[in-house]
Structure 1
């Protein structure tokens, strides 16, 4: 270390080193500030880059002239000249984005090249073995070579730019650096073979890596392109063309990069079309556009997928769970991170329900200069409903107001997009998702919001299971998280995550937000749990299953890649003449003789979309779901979904799912009652078919079934014999079930005037037709035509979940409180007189 320090001190004593070092440090700092400011959209980034360019230009011209005149005396400054030339290139790129947005590794690699030059160029005078520096130089030199080749098309413009402004010189810098460096390397390598091997090894490693990556990406592109060509013969005009690609695409690293071409990763043929990246089709994709040389080179050897940007975005949404990235974002949120998370869970074993309250603090990077919008996606367990929203405004908690989906969305866009003030919005999304938006957040104004969700406890093998919520949002992984579980009643729970019992609460502290589960035994009570609200009582009971005789007109095997040969064979062994599959939208008989051949047609099909409107009435569908598929929202404008909505329900189709998973398509079909749905094992399914039976959940007009928890909630007139001993979440779950059941009936109605909006308001639940919104002031609600909730359950709370008093009960409470107050004052007066 001492020897290296002495070498550095000797080097700084050479002519021109001190001033070169000062200019380089200053220019580097200005470049970093300019890039950071551009990234965070600080309006002065141009002037900072311009200042750096002035320093670079004066220094570069002066030093170039000096070296040309007295090469032997000043050749040791050549590494400084190269470094400052490249800094100037990056500064100019801020004004004229020839390179577009580069990933940080490009800057670091260029820096590694420049720093290693100081050791290599010094060694032009000293025959030393510095193989490590040559190895680093060999690896990093590739990026300079890439820039030189990449800029060949604009070299004529650069020559003209030199005459006009002098700045055109920077378009020639990579080529000049390449020539100078190669001449220096060739001269040095003849003196030391180890350095020659090290430099070559560095180059070779990068080339091998690029070839391997390009080969993998190219093979995947050919595979997808071939699949698209084959599927083009399918004559299915009902479904969008991209669906066949989505169905046959198994998510992996390579095909995600291919789908993001032109959307996230910029191909070489688009790099000179400045401003051409604003048009991404009709859909927004909230991910920064990047010029990644490694990927851009690989694209040159890949097949064109012939898919529009909207089609590729839809595939990213369904196959890669990128729906959050496609949410409409009015302001950027790239500098945000989640600072703290409080996860508070209250379990009601008697009602087989739980309430989860999530409180989050969001902060912004200190270098950020603009207001930003945070978007969070909550993946809820099946059957769950969002029941509260709060936003802290000026240190005061403001609770959400429930209104129609249209009014909430319009108000949010007006206040965020035009007025730039405080709102928060909670919206329902297909597939058990809820999206929460918060605005504004900046470096001086971190925000805090709270949201609550009522979830059923899943019943499995004589025990109940609570599933934690899966959350996506701004940088959650490093958040300080505290989780708490409390139960109503004395019940023992076990968790998949380490919780410590403290003061009757289970507590866990960690970083980020892990998926976890809590298990507890089923409680069999003689007295059911119930909740009274507005002269009605809502009672929780065990769900009533009914085994009905059902001889299906046809049995449809909904095959995909998750089916095994043995499972398919077990159904063909039923020897049913009415056993069919749908191949490319056409019905085909399947039996003992042909099932192996038919299975080959489905080995790459990762999810199916059966034409339910083509299936014979009173048929039975056997499906085995994975976890992903296109959903109703993405199919909204297709003829397929229009026919599903108008031609399916009257067909009386029954569905048995032999998987424990359910994808977004079947989830919506189940919730909106397009089919009668039952989930069971493959063995039990075969038994039901043999006996010509089907399991239905008993349904009545005043009953909602929650299949996951094996309970039903029944509405009846108020009965004094039933005590109000349950949480208000019982009514919220009942209301949610009713709204979801009626979606098929009300899809053509005016949502604003629909009776189920009033039901959603009464229970304060977020549904397909209602949203929760927090606005800054009461006047904001009036201006946007939003009435604050009156005589409703209001926002759910972890500490207030019991019965809400009736009007006459409120009167008694007020009278009683008044009497107690005067009694207290009278006694206090007596004591003071004594």
Structure 2
């Protein structure tokens, strides 16, 4: 029996095989280079695909002529012809993108089809191998059918292009191969029925998988469509229709695919009409566009969900946490990756605060003519605030300068979009997120930036808990991560991931960015930490809870899919209490007799948006929040949000959340104090209702409550000289709380807004009205009308958290240094 090498050598001796191997190898290399050039935006490689087209045109024309002239002699070269035709098709696609950004599996499956043809057309008689090759051929033949069907709309253009340039021929290749291969393989089936069974097995697997996928996708599409139609008859016209869809949409793999149609995945409304991406909107979505034949075919069998481009993006933001992908991006962020992350945490147990400094090295792994822009999103715990930003420019750390959010955004756009130079920008986002932008980055210029966040320690069950920050950004999963914790004082600490004690620091090295926690025993002694700043003392004290008498005018159960039957029953079992739910803006009573039927109407409602302005004054709302929802940003411009802002505060509503979670909508409602909000267990809630009580946190004009840490920060005049016993983060937290408290008041008051921008700048905090920006030179700040930090706290630092000296202290320091200088000079003269 001949060895495989001997068989191959014998095969290469046949007419035209060697030259065909050379042409195929050369064309394949050119195609790979062209695809790399397209993927990584390398303009110098754009034209290399044309070289392959010239080679393919000459080779294909000559080989076709030879086969037609002498079929018996050259028929064995047909697989080479098919292979090179498809190489030509893909090279043409790099020049004229008929199929935009094909998935990698499409190239692999097409190659599998072409390679299996070599064995099938030679009619190898080896039993098992032959059946495997027919199975692969049947599997991959489905893709050829897809290509042929997809290109039907441009057939007439292909004929015109073939006459004019010859390129149009490649638009006909799938159809030609479909006919030619069908004719050839039918002949082989007549010789051996097992070949037919293997081929059909491969073909059927694809069809069955596609049918199952399409059925599931269609079921989800039908659900969304029915929900859209049903909700359109609601009397509630205050909310956009897509919000009602979002409320009833449970995030899953299939919903995401449906929502990404024409945004990420190619999917023409009419499969046999070539129009590519024809949906445009005002919102940007920073995710690579993909042509996936499997998904595109499934789209063809699905009902359209009847949501426009912007509506679907808003749902992706609220239900799938895709808010980072919708951030405006001035330059591409492709090919960026996070190289290193350093977490440096300093914990102040006495103040129940912590400072986290995150240093990130971001780099580009591919050569590109275009500089890249990196965007990172930091999800902060409730009550946390961003307090520093630095960018390394020419090897030197440049610290951020705080200014108004409008001025910072306009300056960044000018320098990045027009001047194309070095800046970094840190902005606040609703839901207590912070977005950081860095530009420029390329393969020769990796960047390092650092940002700091002051966070409260969450108090639970006589323990204080530090929670690591959640970060989204370019390819974080493979970053080398170094974490360090230092504790002020002798407090014991336990962490959910392993830290080793080294030189009084707890150190951990890992890969990626895992979520972790650190817990410490709660200091039961009276808190006495304070910070002195500009003739004021900012003192940390235990938060003062007040239990007030509260007999609500009505009790509203804010039901959604998070509620359990037991929880509803527990409330309804309270004697002599009436409870209501709101359905279609109308109040309906809920009791032990009807609660099951009422609850069933909320089983698909994953978050609610109550019409607070229609609820009676002094009412009590009991909610159970999930993790996702729309926020004020998605509701912007709606009548609902306008009424919330103008008609809610005066209602004096009380809210109890029986969940440990809080979604973005409720967090904003709580932070901006539209209602009195209290988060506790169901057991405590039952007691409060039964006793006609409610828990309020005592507030004063010159104080701010930090509820997660159970502390309050008070501002007092400094009557006598005093020293800081705590860190400057105390004042930063106070300032942040004050800005958020006034957020509702300052919406239409530019004078008040300027007042609170000054407060934010003094504390150097990023808020809804202020941002941090780093520019390349001092002249850039001056040219853009941005004043550098003068007489402010400036950027927070892990190594410098004390008070800035008072004026008289500066005088003493100067006198002391001057005395030391003269003393040193005097001694120097005596020695000489």
- Alignment TM class, shorter chain as reference: over 0.9
2:211 is the counterpart of 1:211: yes
Partner of 1:199: 199
Are residue 233 (structure 1) and residue 233 (structure 2) matched?
yes
1:130 Cα deviation from its structure 2 partner = 2.8
Describe the SS at the equivalent of 1:333: coil
2:763: which partner in 1? 763
In the alignment, which residue of structure 2 is the partner of 1:733? 733
Greater shift, 123-132 or 742-751, is seen at: 123-132
Cross-structure match for 1:443: 443
CA shift for structure 1 position 290: 1.7
Post-superposition CA distance 1:261-282 (Å, at most 9, x none): 1111121346788886375211
Aligned to 2:4: 4
1:45 Cα deviation from its structure 2 partner: 3.9
CA deviation profile, 1:397-435 (whole Å, cap 9, x unmatched): 110000000000000111111111111110000111000
| TM-score (normalizing by structure 1) | 0.97
Q: How far apart are residue 595 of structure 1 and its match?
A: 1.4
What is the CA-CA distance between 1:122 and the residue it aligns to?
2.7
Structure 1 position 108 matched with structure 2 position 108: yes
Contact 2:150 2:272 in 1 (8 A): no
The residue number in structure 2 matching 1:618 is: 618
C-alpha contact (below 8 Å) 1:287/1:325 kept by paired residues: yes
Q: Does the 8 Å CA contact 1:369/1:443 hold for their aligned counterparts?
A: no
Q: Distance in 1 between matches of 2:709 and 2:752?
A: 32
Q: Residues 219-270 of structure 1: CA distance to partner in whole angstroms, max 9, x if unpaired? A: 1111111111211110111111111111100001111111111111121346
Rounded to whole Å, the distance in 2 between the matches of 1:731 and 1:776 is 29
Residues 352, 456 of structure 2: 8 Å contact kept: yes
Q: Once the two structures are superposed, what CA deviation does each residue of 1:113-166 show, in whole Å capped at 9, x if it has no partner?
A: 122222222336888843322222222221112111222232233223222222
What aligned pairs does 1:345-744 form with structure 2 within 5 A after superposition? 345-526=345-526, 528-576=528-576, 578-718=578-718, 720=720, 723-744=723-744
Distance 1:271 1:340 in 2: 45
Cα separation, 1, equivalents of 2:204 and 2:754: 68
User: What is the CA deviation profile of residues 378-402 of structure 1, one whole-angstrom value per residue up to 9, with x for unaligned ones?
Assistant: 0111110000001111111110000
Q: In 1, Cα distance between the equivalents of 2:570 and 2:349?
A: 39
Alpha-carbon spacing, 1:812–1:723, altered in 2? closer, same or farther (3 Å): closer
Distance in 1 of aligned mates of 2:162 and 2:114:
24
Q: Is the 8 A contact 2:555 2:579 kept in 1?
A: yes
Is residue 545–residue 697 contact of structure 1 (8 Å, CA) maintained in 2? yes
Q: TM-score, normalised by structure 2?
A: 0.97
Hey, what's the Cα distance between the residues in 2 that align with 1:90 and 1:136?
A: 21
Cα displacement string for residues 587-636 of structure 1 (whole angstroms, at most 9, x for unaligned residues): 11222222111111101100000001111111111110001111011111
| 1:742-798 per-position Cα deviation (integer Å, ceiling 9, x unaligned) | 111111122796200000000000000000001111111111111101000000011
Which position in structure 1 is the counterpart of 2:253?
253
| Range with greater deviation from structure 2 (387-396 or 141-150) | 141-150
Residue 326 (structure 1) shift: 0.7
Between 1:418-427 and 1:58-67, the stretch displaced more is 58-67
Contact 1:389 1:400 in 2 (8 A): yes
Distance 1:4 1:533 in 2: 84
Report the more deviating stretch, 186-195 or 699-708: 186-195
In 2, the alpha carbon distance for the partners of 1:220 and 1:634 equals 23
Q: CA RMSD in A?
A: 2.0
1:277 aligned residue:
277
- 1:200 and 1:445 mapped to 2: Cα distance? 53
Alpha-carbon shift at residue 84 of structure 1 (Å): 0.9
Aligned 1:13-412 pairs, distance under 5 A? 13-123=13-123, 129-269=129-269, 277=277, 280-412=280-412
**2-side partners of 1:813 and 1:446: how far apart?**
41
Where 2:68 maps in the other structure, the secondary structure is: helix
CA distance in 2, matches of 1:611, 1:647: 10
Call closer, same or farther: CA 1:205–1:565 in 2, change over 3 Å.
same
In 2: Cα distance, 1:126 partner to 1:134 partner: 12
For the residue of structure 2 that corresponds to 1:268, the secondary structure is coil
Judge conservation of contact 1:100–1:271 (CA < 8 Å) in 2.
no
Gaps of 5+ in 1: none
Q: 1:828 to 1:299 in 2, by over 3 A?
A: same
Aligned equivalents of 1:662, 1:39: Cα separation in 2: 41
- The number of residue pairs the alignment matches comes to 832
In structure 1, what is the Cα distance between the partners aligned to 2:344 and 2:769? 27
Structure 1 residues 69 and 830, CA gap change in structure 2 (3 angstroms):
farther
The whole-number CA distance in structure 1 between the counterparts of 2:569 and 2:128 is 72
SS at match of 1:455: strand
The range that moved more, 450-459 or 484-493, is 484-493
Separation in 1 of the partners of 2:292 and 2:526?
Answer: 66
Q: Aligned partners of 2:558, 2:791: CA distance in 1, in Å?
A: 48
Cα distance in 2 between the residues matched to 1:171 and 1:106? 17
Contact kept in structure 1, 2:553 and 2:617, CA below 8 Å? yes
Tell me how far 1:42 sits from its aligned partner. 2.3
Q: How far 1:2 sits from its partner (Å)?
A: 10
Partner Cα distance (1:654, 1:560) in 2: 19
Report the secondary structure of 1:745's partner residue.
Answer: coil
What is the distance in 1 between the residues matched to 2:456 and 2:154?
63
Any idea what the Cα deviations from partners look like across 1:445-477, whole Å, max 9, x if unmatched?
Answer: 111111010000000000000000101111111
Shift of 1:107: 1.1
Residue-by-residue CA offset, 1:463-520 (whole Å, 9 max, x unaligned): 0000001011111111111111111111211111121221211111111111111111
SS in 1 for 2:745: helix
* SS of structure 2 residue aligned to 1:130: helix
